[in-house]
Structure formats: C-alpha cells, structure tokens
Amino acid sequence: MKLTVTLPHHRYDLTIGAGLLANVGQWVSGLWKPQRVMIITDETVKALYAEQVVKQLRQEGFTADVFAVPTGETSKSLTQAEELYDWLASQGMTRKDGIIALGGGVVGDLTGFVASTFMRGLHFLQIPTTLLAQVDSSIGGKTAVNTKSAKNLVGTFAQPDGVLIDTDTLKTLEPRRVREGIAEIVKSAAIADKELWETLSKLKDEADLLANAEAIITACCKVKRQVVEEDEFDTGQRLILNFGHTIGHAIENTAGYGVVTHGEAVSIGMIQISRVAEEKGLMPLGTTAQLIEMVTKFNLPITTEHWSEEALYKALTHDKKAVGSDIRIVLLESIGKAKIVKIVTDEMREFLIK
C-alpha cells in the first residue's frame, strides 16, 4: 500500500506492508543518490535490524554507519541531540548527506529534530518500527525533544523524504509497546474515522488487531495525512490529533518520562477530559463510556497513581496549545468527529479533578 502526502512545497510517500525491510536498500536508492547515510536508532532496534539495513545500503552504493541511543523516552533530550551533533560532525557529514530514523517514536522525533537543525537541515527518512510510530509520530513532520518543563517543548516542522512501514517489525514488540500504539489508533478513530471505530469494536483483543495491522495502520495514516495536508504547521485543525494529549503530556512529564508510556498517558487523558467534558455538557452523554469500553478491551489504563492536580496543571500550562490566558482542548462532537474548544487556562483545573 502506498499513500502520498502532498504539501505546498513537498510531497512524499508512505509505503506500508509486510516484509518491506527485505528491500530497504532499493527503497532508499529510489529516493536518494548514493551518499553518506547515518542511521540513528536505539540499542534495542539496533540489535534487531541495523545490520540488515546497513548491509543493503552499502550494496546500493551508500556509505552507511549507525549511532544507537539508549532505549527509552529519556533519549529524547537536548543532551542526546548535542551528542548526535558532535558525532555527525566527527563523521564529516555535509548538507548533501542524509539521515535515517530506524526505530520508534523517540528515535523518529529525535532524528527528525537533529536532521532539521544540524547544519541548518539535512534530508531524512523515517523507518518506524513500533505501532505508535507507524500510525502517528513518523508522519506529518513534527520533530521535538523534551525538557524538564514539558514534553515536546523544543522542536521543528521538518518533513521526511519518505516513510517505510514494515508491519513485520510489530512481531518483535512487547505487549506494552503494542498497547501504546493502540491508544493512538483509538484516538484516530474517535476523532475522525467512525468506520475505523466500528472495525475496532469488532476486534477481540491486541492479537486480533495485529492480525489486521496493515489495514488499520493504513486507515490511521489516511487520517493523519488528511489533517496534515490541511494544516501542515499546526495552526488550526491539526490540533484535533491531540485529543487526550493535553492531560496525557502532563502525566508523562509529572510521572517522569518513561514511567507512564505515551500511549498509556493518552488513554488516561482521553478518558479524563471526556468525563469532565460530559459533566460540563460539552460532550454527548455516553461518549466516555464508549471510550472506556474500547481502551479497556485493549488493556489500556483509564487512570494512574501518578496524579497531582497542582503538578499536572503546572505542566500543562507550559503546553504548546496554551495561548496567553487561553488553552485549546480537543473534545468529541460524536465518535468519529472532533471539535476544538477554547477555554480560560484556569478552567483547566476543573478537568483535572478526579
């Protein structure tokens, strides 16, 4: 399956299917001329796929090397970015060379950020190996690193030259990482794809979902593509992709990055903001119950022990969705249709009451 993302100044393809890494060298050579290529990955993914990718790139005439960051959310930092800058400089990288992100969302965000800022910008490719990255973070050109103040606070918009999604890489994921991606799938269905929601409703569990991975990933990519094409730089409608994320990002920050996964935090965030919105009459009654039924079927949490209203409020006021004394939140008009609501930032405290 191939989907094309068409933007005013750039277009690229998402290639989706099983066994695609077997021809990764040919895929890259179809996009780039032979050049120096640096593969950024993490220690876990390096052991699984890096050797295969390097071998194929070298067979196609590329000079390829690998840098592996520690596995986990803590690698998405300015400290790690600086280490990568130093390494790229030591390798003699030029603006004619390229970088490939091989891994999950952390690797993809970090790599995109480094590629877009080193020497004022190198071209890059995304090869996402987790469900979360395949359905969301590898698409659309958002790159970022975390700071102590907030998640994704420092970042750029930088589109890749292509995205290769091999669904076979999902076979090596531990269950918690599969569930992390499912949270974003549920979000995509809830905000913009009622048909996908109905498909998910018919599935029994995570194994059933993975058996239908290509079709489900493709549906999510179509949602993301449409929103990104309409609002590349996140100035309006693209915000709907952040359903559950305002509270979710605050949970990740206050719990400590990696303690609660991104998907777990988004699941909790969707339930919390929907529950309070229903109480305020901002969402149809019964919507939260539908969300709870869906996420619990896939063993995702609806609450967390890492909950401090004051700490969460402080974290979310640093959120990029806050504008002056207002903050924009994403709610559901119905399953399959989202809306953006602007509230006074202080009112957000009421959405944090358990």
- Asked whether residue 88 falls in the same domain as residue 13, the answer is yes
In contact, 141 and 228? CB cutoff 8 Å: yes
- Asked whether residue 193 falls in the same domain as residue 244, the answer is yes
- Asked whether residue 125 falls in the same domain as residue 202, the answer is no
Q: What is the pLDDT of residue 326?
A: 87
Looking up tokens 């799938």, which residue turns up? Answer: 185
- Asked whether residue 23 falls in the same domain as residue 72, the answer is yes
- Asked whether residue 162 falls in the same domain as residue 231, the answer is no
**Residues 171-179, mean pLDDT to the nearest whole number:** 95
What is the CATH number for 33? 3.40.50.1970
Picking from 192, 309, 279, 304, the residue whose alpha carbon sits closest to that of residue 239 is: 192
Comparing 236 with 186, which gets the higher pLDDT? 186
Sheet with 98-103, strands from edge to edge, namely 2-7, 10-17, 163-166, 123-128, 98-103, 36-42, 63-69
CA distance 189 to 26: 33
Q: 322 falls in which pLDDT band (50, 70, 90)?
A: low
Q: What is the pLDDT of residue 320?
A: 53
- Token pair of 28 as six digits: 């890259």
Strand 10-17 with 163-166, pairing: parallel
Picking from 330, 262, 270, 277, the residue whose alpha carbon sits closest to that of residue 294 is: 270
**Residues 168-176, mean pLDDT to the nearest whole number:** 95
In contact, 80 and 144? CB cutoff 8 Å: no
Q: 150 falls in which pLDDT band (50, 70, 90)?
A: confident
Q: 256 falls in which pLDDT band (50, 70, 90)?
A: confident
pLDDT at 257 > cutoff 90: no
- Asked whether residue 189 falls in the same domain as residue 146, the answer is no
Sheet with 322-323, strands from edge to edge, namely 322-323, 326-334, 337-344
Picking from 299, 280, 306, 302, the residue whose alpha carbon sits closest to that of residue 289 is: 302
- Asked whether residue 160 falls in the same domain as residue 274, the answer is no
The domain boundary, picked from 124, 151, 172, lies at: 172
pLDDT tens profile 197-238? 999 999 999 999 999 999 999 999 999 999 999 999 888 899
- Asked whether residue 226 falls in the same domain as residue 280, the answer is yes
- Asked whether residue 230 falls in the same domain as residue 343, the answer is yes
The domain boundary, picked from 172, 202, 218, lies at: 172
- Give the pTM: 0.94
Across the strands, what pairs with 10?
7
pLDDT tens profile 258-293? 899 999 999 999 999 999 999 999 999 999 999 999
Backbone angles phi, psi at 7, to 5 degrees: -120, 165
* Nearest-10 crossing angle of helices 245-255, 262-279: 130
pLDDT tens profile 10-41? 999 999 999 999 999 999 999 999 999 999 99
pLDDT tens profile 90-134? 999 999 999 999 999 999 999 999 999 999 999 999 999 999 999
The domain boundary, picked from 172, 201, 228, lies at: 172
Q: 151 falls in which pLDDT band (50, 70, 90)?
A: confident
Domain that holds residue 10: 2-172
Q: 323 falls in which pLDDT band (50, 70, 90)?
A: low
- Asked whether residue 336 falls in the same domain as residue 262, the answer is yes
In contact, 34 and 58? CB cutoff 8 Å: no
CA distance 102 to 83: 18
pLDDT at 329 > cutoff 80: yes
Number of domains in the chain: 2
- Asked whether residue 188 falls in the same domain as residue 109, the answer is no
CA distance 168 to 232: 29
10 Å CB burial of residue 157 (0-12, 13-18, 19+) is middle
Looking up tokens 């060298």, which residue turns up? Answer: 25
- Asked whether residue 147 falls in the same domain as residue 32, the answer is yes
What is the CATH number for 242? 1.20.1090.10
Q: What is the pLDDT of residue 148?
A: 85
Alpha helices in the chain (DSSP H): 24-29, 43-45, 51-59, 78-90, 105-117, 131-132, 175-192, 194-202, 206-211, 213-230, 245-255, 262-279, 287-297, 309-316
